[in-house]
Structure 1
Amino acid sequence: MRNRLLLTTIFAGLAASAAPALSADCDITVGMVMELTGPAGAYGQAGAKSVEMAFRDFNEAGGVDGCKLVTDTRDSQSQGNVAVDQATQLVNIKKVPVIIGGIISSVSIPILTSVTAPAGVVQVSPASSSPTLTELGRQGKTNGVFFRTITSDALQGTAAAKYALDQGFKKIAVIHVNNDFGVNMVREFAAAYEKLGGTITATVPYNEKQASYSAEASSAMTGEPDALYLVSYPVDGATIARAWISGGGKQAFLLNDGMNAKEFIEAVGAEYLENAYGTSSGTSPTASTEYFNANYEAFSGGIAASAPAADRSYDAGAIVALAIAKAGKADPAAIKAAIPEVLAAGGEPIHAGKDEFAKALKLIKEGKPVKYEGVIGPVSFDAYGDITGPFRLWKITGGEVTTVSEMSADEVGKVKAEIAK
């Protein structure tokens, strides 16, 4: 019931925030394609509110020469084909210069390959971590329009492998969602885990939205693993974890970043997750982090600032807003060129919030360089729209996700170099 009320509130809030602004001739519409419903609905709901918060702060700071940024938000339903249809409408009919989204890779990739890259429209994903997105960039298939504010699973898989072994999980079973995200995450994890001395006893893919996953859980139990590595989303993930536990599987888990969710913990039962560990793309705290953590829950209507995708979605919105201000117009090519300019090395540091954005807008008008330092830390994109950063290593204790430590990008790099020998 709480989730239905929250979703209703989010839809109403998004509509209300956009409606008044649409009457102004100079307002600039940014498309959002988010997973508001479906298996990744919790992420999309948090992400959408974060972008709205960034745009509110930006508009209150003065906007683009007094013109507001507004969103046209569409629900992908966590499905690639739905996402493509919604993105096509936004690009071809609404003529948006930017799309923020999706959250999951199986939504972002088809939007990119079918809509934004061919049209030359900027796309910024807050949370799509598949290595396929990097490879598309290497192959020249992104038209240079894709950016993401999360690290690639090519790095997270390595961090997860070392973390698993550090917890004494020398033999591990894997159950993963059978999509681009799940397949790539497990491939990177397996390569590192086995090279570091671990043994994978079973690898079981699953298809989404099944009523039962007892067969998958049973299949994964062969070989007496020390733990289950569950690469999933909160709804299906909880069903799988319950099937694993009820079938006699060890109550020991390694979890991917998206499983850092209250819905998952409550659905499984905190008492069964006292030996559950996970990895997430981490942060290097800045003044933006403090601002976001202090204000997001009240703005979002009760979503925690720690919700997956929340922090990096604010940064996606802030970078888009500042880039549009730098471009001075709703032109995709100009906005694409402006994105690295608002993250300029040596630029004046800019943080989240109305006052900081007002400072940035003044500097931009004066032709001075700015460097947005986000909620997740200082951000810069490489040639393929990727970022690097630390990884958060966490554990579930008493029904709460607690940070155990962090693994820096340099540390991950050293592990990758070690296993490459």
Structure 2
Amino acid sequence: MTTFGMVKTAGVAFGLAVGFSGAAMAQDCTTKIGAVLPTSVDWGKPIAETAQFVVDQVNEAGGVQGCQIEMVLRDSQVDPKVGVDAAKALVDLDGVQVLLGAVSSGVSMPILTSVTVPAGVAQFSCCSSSGAFTALAEEGKTNGLWFRTFATSGVQAAVGAKVAKDQGYKSVAVLYKNDDWGQDIGKLVAENLKAHGIEVTGSVAINDAQPSYRAEVTEALAGEPEAIYLAIYPTEGSSVVREWVSLGGTQNMILANSLKSDEFRDNVGLQYLGNAHGTDTASPRVESADAFVASYKARFASEPNGPGLANSYDATMIALLAMEAAGKDARGADIAAAVSRVTDPAGTPVTADAAGFAAARDILAGGGSVLYQGATGNVRFDANGDVSAPAVVWTFTETGTEEASYITLEEVDALMASTN
């Protein structure tokens, strides 16, 4: 995996090298976009690198509205306060009209409500899945400025419950991160488990940075569940599972995509994860998704196995396409309004690469619209800025993860309808 250049202290912008084509070198203007992403954690850094990959491709194609794009990146540290402070700096000091981020719903939400919406900045998230964003949009409180390329928590909750049913578990304990995302998915997976006739023996909140999780693990063990469902992040997850195993807990585990992490696997030990099944949203089995995998491997010399990479690619490319469609010096609201022109089902299809961006520029300049065909397929946002997606069940291997089963978008929709 490549690394960022000129790394400064945590919470301070990374200086990112940008590759220029000959045409781009001749340009004398730069437009900044902001990114608040968790680069200090192992699974967050590739998400940011993927966003920069898109920026480099767009710059290769000549930039946006004739200007090179500079992505000013700040580390959220998966901390709401740090994330908000970073977003405020990007908006107030750097003057960005587009913000990429965050990853955790618990960080994205306060950025949205206290920074981007008040400032009229368009916010594109690769990975925040809480249903709270949908509710906020339905109440008219996002002002149409919020978009996410990751499906809501409902998809993973439904698939997680399906895994429990398919494995024949009769009882499951739920352990969830005590933030917007964790509370949302924890509640949803409990509801889905009960809809399948599976007993939820307990739902236990997990807070950040505790020296021990013995009390929480003991509480979850009290109901003697056949399996556990974990919706937490790798650092806390490693500690929780080590406590769980040491106290005699089952190795029957169902993992949210937040634990799709080499750090988690290595810290727990693969020998304890042989019966762990993870869930994640997935790209559809279409040509554009395959093309993303090929281009990612060419850039980074590795498979895009981490969480949110395809979603990060699409969030960034759609944001930059919308900036192109909105015109020079467009404000955040104009950029948000232009998203529909670049994700138009009746528009001219364009590929997710430098050539596709260049083609889109010509079409948009002529007054047309385009259908962006990206890493997660033909992205379509609803009125709340939400998307739906297929899903996968995965397992850990010595070198990463592998897909155990694929669930189509139609199957996901049917599954969610049946449990609702």
Q: TM-score, normalised by structure 2?
A: 0.92
Indicate the residue corresponding to 1:314 in structure 2: 313
Indicate the residue corresponding to 2:275 in structure 1: 275
Q: CA deviation at 1:172?
A: 0.8
User: How far, CA to CA, are the matches of 1:328 and 1:369 in structure 2?
Assistant: 14
User: How far, CA to CA, are the matches of 1:49 and 1:288 in structure 2?
Assistant: 20
Name whichever of 105-114 and 14-23 sits farther off.
14-23
Q: Are the equivalent residues in 2 in contact too, given 1:18–1:71 (CA < 8 A)?
A: no
SS of the counterpart of 2:44?
helix
Indicate the residue corresponding to 1:33 in structure 2: 36
Name whichever of 103-112 and 322-331 sits farther off.
322-331
The one-letter amino acid of 1:54's match is V
User: How far, CA to CA, are the matches of 1:398 and 1:47 in structure 2?
Assistant: 22
Structure 1 segment 87-236 matched on structure 2, within 5 A: 87-236=87-236
Indicate the residue corresponding to 1:11 in structure 2: 7
Indicate the residue corresponding to 2:242 in structure 1: 242
Structure 1: where are the runs of 5+ without partners?
none
Q: Are the equivalent residues in 1 in contact too, given 2:5–2:15 (CA < 8 A)?
A: no
Q: Are the equivalent residues in 2 in contact too, given 1:285–1:375 (CA < 8 A)?
A: no
User: How far, CA to CA, are the matches of 1:214 and 1:10 in structure 2?
Assistant: 40
Structure 1 segment 221-370 matched on structure 2, within 5 A: 221-297=221-297, 299-300=299-300, 304-331=303-330, 332-370=332-370
User: How far, CA to CA, are the matches of 1:128 and 1:418 in structure 2?
Assistant: 24
Q: Are the equivalent residues in 2 in contact too, given 1:173–1:203 (CA < 8 A)?
A: yes
SS of the counterpart of 2:17?
helix
Name whichever of 143-152 and 162-171 sits farther off.
162-171
Q: Deviations over 1:266-301 (max 9, x none)?
A: 11111111100011011113443233322325535x
SS of the counterpart of 1:11?
coil
Q: Are the equivalent residues in 1 in contact too, given 2:173–2:202 (CA < 8 A)?
A: yes
SS of the counterpart of 1:204?
strand
SS of the counterpart of 2:328?
coil
User: How far, CA to CA, are the matches of 1:16 and 1:187 in structure 2?
Assistant: 39
User: How far, CA to CA, are the matches of 1:330 and 1:231 in structure 2?
Assistant: 41
The one-letter amino acid of 1:281's match is T
SS of the counterpart of 1:242?
helix
SS of the counterpart of 2:42?
helix
Q: CA deviation at 1:393?
A: 1.6
Identical positions, percent = 37
The one-letter amino acid of 2:79's match is Q
The one-letter amino acid of 2:135's match is E
List structure 1 segments (4+ residues) > 4 angstroms apart after TM superposition. Answer: 5-10, 18-25
User: How far, CA to CA, are the matches of 1:322 and 1:172 in structure 2?
Assistant: 44
The one-letter amino acid of 1:122's match is A
Q: Deviations over 1:352-373 (max 9, x none)?
A: 2222222222222222221111
User: How far, CA to CA, are the matches of 2:298 and 2:42 in structure 1?
Assistant: 17
Question: Does the C-alpha gap of structure 1 residues 19 and 364 become closer, same or farther in structure 2, counting only changes over 3 Å?
Answer: closer
Q: Are the equivalent residues in 2 in contact too, given 1:30–1:71 (CA < 8 A)?
A: yes
User: How far, CA to CA, are the matches of 1:18 and 1:59 in structure 2?
Assistant: 8
User: How far, CA to CA, are the matches of 2:359 and 2:61 in structure 1?
Assistant: 8
Q: CA deviation at 1:127?
A: 0.1
SS of the counterpart of 1:202?
strand
Q: Are the equivalent residues in 2 in contact too, given 1:286–1:373 (CA < 8 A)?
A: no
User: How far, CA to CA, are the matches of 1:297 and 1:283 in structure 2?
Assistant: 16
The one-letter amino acid of 2:193's match is Y
Question: Does the C-alpha gap of structure 1 residues 79 and 24 become closer, same or farther in structure 2, counting only changes over 3 Å?
Answer: farther
Indicate the residue corresponding to 1:403 in structure 2: 403
Q: CA deviation at 1:397?
A: 4.4
Q: Are the equivalent residues in 2 in contact too, given 1:271–1:399 (CA < 8 A)?
A: no
Q: Deviations over 1:212-234 (max 9, x none)?
A: 22222222112221111111111
Indicate the residue corresponding to 2:60 in structure 1: 60
Cα RMSD, aligned residues only:
2.4
Question: Does the C-alpha gap of structure 1 residues 299 and 417 become closer, same or farther in structure 2, counting only changes over 3 Å?
Answer: closer
User: How far, CA to CA, are the matches of 1:330 and 1:408 in structure 2?
Assistant: 40
Q: Deviations over 1:362-386 (max 9, x none)?
A: 2222222211111011101001100
Q: Are the equivalent residues in 2 in contact too, given 1:270–1:399 (CA < 8 A)?
A: no
The one-letter amino acid of 2:306's match is A
Structure 2: where are the runs of 5+ without partners?
none
User: How far, CA to CA, are the matches of 1:60 and 1:286 in structure 2?
Assistant: 25
User: How far, CA to CA, are the matches of 2:246 and 2:92 in structure 1?
Assistant: 50
Indicate the residue corresponding to 1:389 in structure 2: 389
SS of the counterpart of 2:99?
strand
Count residues with an aligned counterpart: 412
Q: Are the equivalent residues in 2 in contact too, given 1:286–1:374 (CA < 8 A)?
A: no
SS of the counterpart of 1:43?
coil
